[in-house]
């Protein structure tokens, strides 16, 4: 199978099980360097990372692959309602195909919000030795009342303001993108959702990033990683920062990521000297 067109404006489609996904690539291709795979938040897409992927590639010297999950950005629409375990399904059923199709050899999964959860689920559920590290930014492992309250506010905004029109600038199907996220999180059956057990099975280094003032989750999400992970965990708790550290504290996020990535690269390059 041919690999992706490794460019910011690719001509070759990314098709997984008959579904076409929007994607962009920056920096060196997977056969030249380690790849950072960016997984967007619940209302995100490739375009909504703005210039962060390009800056990340420049700062780390690694390749960066960013794609829009089904139902987001310019990817194919998704059938609603989404199942309550949609993040697990994205991790187990879709992400392996993305990595294969991209020709990834060694990678860091870098997820934001729901994307961070998907990254953690993948690393904790699928044995994939290509994954050398995780960067989990504002992850969710269980629901919290304050986060659900913010999601309820988002529903009100969507229904009473021009939020849908603003989303249409980035999403082919803004209604589907919003409902596919919001309806699941506000479903009564989702209150008890908890996937923290995947942390017990992580076997690669983790960088956990969160804004101290994150409105969608408390530091209990990060503490869960710190207390449960068998693998090494680095923490970056950012002041004056809410749910979007990549924009609100972009320099700090880039610096932390570059240091973490460089350390992983040194480990991969280290020669084992026979005794």
Contact 126, 103 (CB under 8 A): no
- pLDDT per residue as tens, the chain (275 positions): 558 999 999 999 999 999 999 999 999 999 999 999 999 999 999 999 999 999 999 999 999 999 999 999 999 999 999 999 999 999 999 999 999 999 999 999 999 999 999 999 999 999 999 999 999 999 999 999 999 999 999 999 999 999 999 999 999 999 999 999 999 999 999 999 999 999 999 999 999 999 999 999 999 999 999 999 999 999 999 999 999 999 999 999 999 999 999 999 998 888 544 55
Residue 178 covered by a domain? yes
Find residue 36's DSSP bridge partners: 64, 108
For the domain that residue 53 is a member of, what is the CATH number?
A: 3.40.50.1820
Domain that holds residue 187: 14-265
The domain tally of the chain equals 1
Residue 75 covered by a domain? yes
Residue 245 covered by a domain? yes
Q: Which of 112, 123, 122 is nearest to 90 (CA)?
A: 122
Cα distances (angstroms) measured from residue 217 to each of 36, 149, 164, 244? 24, 11, 24, 12
Residue 175 covered by a domain? yes
Q: Which of 216, 202, 91, 89 is nearest to 150 (CA)?
A: 216
Q: Which residue has the tokens 């030249």?
A: 32
The pair phi, psi for residue 61, each rounded to 5°, is 75, 10
């Amino acid at each position: 199978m041919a690999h992706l067109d490794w460019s910011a404006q690719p001509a070759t489609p990314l098709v997984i099980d008959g579904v076409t996904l929007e994607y962009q690539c920056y920096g060196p291709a997977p056969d030249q360097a380690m790849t950072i795979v960016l997984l967007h938040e619940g209302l995100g897409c490739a375009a909504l990372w703005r210039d962060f992927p390009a800056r990340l590639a420049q700062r780390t010297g690694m390749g960066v692959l960013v794609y829009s999950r089904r139902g987001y950005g310019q990817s194919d629409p998704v059938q609603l309602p989404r199942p309550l375990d949609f993040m697990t399904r994205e991790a187990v059923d879709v992400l392996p195909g993305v990595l294969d199709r991209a020709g990834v050899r060694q990678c860091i999964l870098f997820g934001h919000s729901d994307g961070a959860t998907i990254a953690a689920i993948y690393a904790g559920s699928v044995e994939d030795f290509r994954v050398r590290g995780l960067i989990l930014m504002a992850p969710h492992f269980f629901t919290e009342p304050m986060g659900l309250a913010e999601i309820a506010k988002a529903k009100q905004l969507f229904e009473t303001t021009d939020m849908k029109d603003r989303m249409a600038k980035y999403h082919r199907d803004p209604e589907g993108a919003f409902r596919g996220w919001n309806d699941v999180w506000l479903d009564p059956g989702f209150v008890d959702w908890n996937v923290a057990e995947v942390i017990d099975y992580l076997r690669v280094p983790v960088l956990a990033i969160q804004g101290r003032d994150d409105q969608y989750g408390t530091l209990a999400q990060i503490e869960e990683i710190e207390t449960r992970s068998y693998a090494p965990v680095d923490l970056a708790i950012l002041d004056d920062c809410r749910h979007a550290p990549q924009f609100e504290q972009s320099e700090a996020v880039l610096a932390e990521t570059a240091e973490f990535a460089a350390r992983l690269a040194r480990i991969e390059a280290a020669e084992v000297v026979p005794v």
